Copies of this chain bind each other. A is one copy, B any other.
Amino acid sequence: METSNNSIADAVRPLPKDMSHHFSDVTKARAPSRMKEFYKYFLIPNIGQLAGGLPSASLFPFDTLEAQTARPDRWTPTPNYPDPDGTLSSRLAATSISNPTVASHVVVPHDAPTSDPRKKIDLATALQYGQADGYPPLLSFVREFTRDYLHPNVPYKGGPEVIFTVGSTDGMSKTLEVFSNVWVEGKNDIRERPGLLCEVFMYANVLTQAQPRGIQPVPIEMDDGGMLPYGPGSLEDVLANWDHSKGKRPHLLYTVTMGHNPTSGVLSLERRKELYSICSKYDVIIIEDDPYWYLQYPSAAVEEAKARNLPIPEPKIANTLEKKSGYEYLDSLAPSFLSIDVDGRVVRLDTFSKTVAPGCRMGWITSSPSICERILRVSETGTQQPSGFAQVVIAETIMGPQPEASAAFAARSAKDRATFSGWKMEGWVRWLAGLRGQYERRMNRMSKILEEHAYQLKQSTPMRGSDSDWGVITKTQLYDFKWPRGGMFLWLHMRFETHPLWKAAGSRGNLIDGVALSTALMIFLTRKPYLVLVSPGLMFSATDKIRRERGWAYYRLCFAAESEENVDSCSLRFGEGVQRFWRIKNVKELEALLDDDAQSQSQSQSQRRTQDDDGAQLVNLGSWMGC
């Protein structure tokens, strides 16, 4: 695979720049493994192994691992360039074509009789101690996919390296460890305080990771298209006018660029170039966390325009870069920051959580080789490799029975042998396209229903002496939103200022402000008959200031978790609940909602304590919520 895209123009491409001045003290102090010198002895043919500290693979309690797996064509894809004349309902109908019974039986044998580590897919290797960078067969597949298909345009010589993580939360944790020193208030100089550039609304779990290290979030303004490069509050603005008395000028930027969490935008190639040049100017490392990269929705702009009776936009070519993957689906997607990373300052986090399952606890980092080497040192002394169970089942599913593993292959039923040869690259890409289809249809279903509930029509009492029997019809906008261009979320801008009780004085003399309305509506929606739970924008605000000033004006709705039918009914109940909420005219009704909730809060806390003591209920809500 080294002879493909990445080496053709290597002679003229510059190497990535040295980024080691960004490394933390701990990272700089990491010595390469002392064991390396010893490695050559392991390679002596037929050497009797009394040196290693391994248990015997013959004593593992598993003789095979097997799975009933989907075939890549289980789900029906959506078009990469949707026909503007096609109807939404015809696209939604495609769902029924999907066929969940399309399956193969996969068997991982205990021992595969090949000596090539890249083709040896068996329990004796996968369940043994292994390489911290990944299980060789799967690593080799992911590396090929990443370098040659997903990011064929990386500008620096040699192209990027990949290293497995145990999921992107782990990837982010390791990246923070590699690039930031711990800063302690009262102990360290304020001018040393590290900062993390991020969007004003963001995946807040990252702040939970950064906060104990003393890292301050530095929010950058954004619009539907993502982070703003220029203008007030933009990246350039914040970096150019940095106040050093508040901390070190940040050298790390965190961003979700494709199907932004929570705002759902996809960062265009043009804006990437602008942001990148600013990062290059101010020497900033870009951490690109893209779990939803394969979920980009070309139909959103078309359907949104149709729903609003606006001109249908031209199909957008998101990727105008030179090298193609050869897969129309992949080539239709907006490309990564890696594709323009001449300096080698991009660290990209990928995950299997959204393409296979979160329970894999498996992802990978793509970055320059020297940065990956430092991440590897962190893995070696922490997580080591991802679980062999996950790695081997996925390797076998994608790569199929290797020809050399003939005994195991022969042991399968004739039917399995006939039908199953592994997904291969083509199947993997087809699987992703099928998933995109599933989620794109859900997105359209939710958007369509919400579109229909965005306004409230009110007829005023006819004026005496008017010509008409009818009063004036007023149209109140309850919320606005963009149909999501990617990801799993719809970002709803609630227009609480149009609520009849906006800024009304409550019984305690407080004004009913945005925070109160937002919280009251969220609670109201969880009650019968609406019974629907949404995430308040307060949860995604990068700072308390943002939370206070505007976080209350947003909700994030996820269309991914529920079935298509439930997406419909939940969206409908949401729309109806909001409509009903805008008819509340009595301040006491809102106050009652908030009071009730505060009471149940303290009850639930004492309940939870009991459960915690019980040890089985310590739920990791932050990651579960994707917030």
Contacts and interface: CB of A to CB of B under 8 A. Distances in A.
Nearest to A60: B357
A358 B128 CA distance: 5
A54 B9 CA distance: 41
A6 to B, nearest CB: 11
Contact of A388 (B48, B57, B209, B359): B359
13 contacts: A26-B213, A29-B184, A31-B211, A44-B531, A47-B531, A48-B569, A49-B533, A50-B559, A61-B431, A62-B69, A130-B359, A169-B382, A380-B620
Nearest to A533: B51
A53 B489 contact: yes
A173 interface: yes
Given A212-B26, A386-B387, A615-B133, A61 B397 contact: yes
Nearest to A47: B533
Nearest to A169: B384
A391 B359 CA distance: 9
A44 to B, nearest CB: 6
A129 interface: yes
A46 interface: yes
Interface in A580-627: 600-601, 604, 608, 613-627
A406 interface: no
A557 B51 CA distance: 6
Contacts of A169: 381-384
A89 to B, nearest CB: 22
A57 B359 CA distance: 10
Given A129-B624, A615-B143, A393 B383 contact: no
Given A36-B621, A64-B68, 8 more contacts: A25-B182, A25-B187, A29-B211, A47-B533, A56-B560, A63-B103, A117-B616, A205-B381
A362 interface: yes
Interface stretch (A10-18, A159-167, A240-248, A478-486): A159-167
A360 B57 CA distance: 13
Interface string A77-106: 000000000000000000000001001000
Main SS class of interface, A: mixed
B623 A384 contact: yes
B29 A214 contact: yes
Contact of A130 (B65, B140, B620, B626): B620
A122 to B, nearest CB: 11
Interface in A437-488: 438, 488
A443 to B, nearest CB: 12
Contacts of A213: 26, 29
Nearest to A387: B387
Given A39-B608, A359-B388, A621-B39, A208 B33 contact: yes
A81 to B, nearest CB: 24
A363 B155 CA distance: 42
Contact of A389 (B63, B390, B563, B619): B390
A362 B359 CA distance: 13
Interface in A528-552: 531-535, 539
A58 interface: yes
A124 to B, nearest CB: 10
Interface string A540-576: 0000000000000000111111110010011101100
A118 interface: yes
A388 B357 contact: yes
A214 B29 CA distance: 8
A62 B531 contact: no
A621 B618 CA distance: 35
Contact of A384 (B36, B361, B376, B435): B361
A131 B531 contact: no
Nearest to A110: B68
A131 B618 CA distance: 7
Contact of A54 (B2, B48, B103, B560): B560
Contacts of A39: 604, 608, 619, 621
Interface string A146-190: 000000000000100110001101100100000001101001000
A358 B601 contact: no
Contacts of A621: 33, 35-36, 38-39, 42
Contact of A166 (B140, B166, B622): B166
A66 interface: yes
Given A41-B526, A381-B173, A533-B44, A357 B128 contact: yes
Contact of A563 (B58, B184, B384, B386): B58
A626 B36 CA distance: 14
Nearest to A353: B55
A36 B619 CA distance: 8
A75 interface: yes
Contact of A129 (B117, B379, B623): B623
A509 interface: no
A37 B522 CA distance: 13
A40 interface: yes
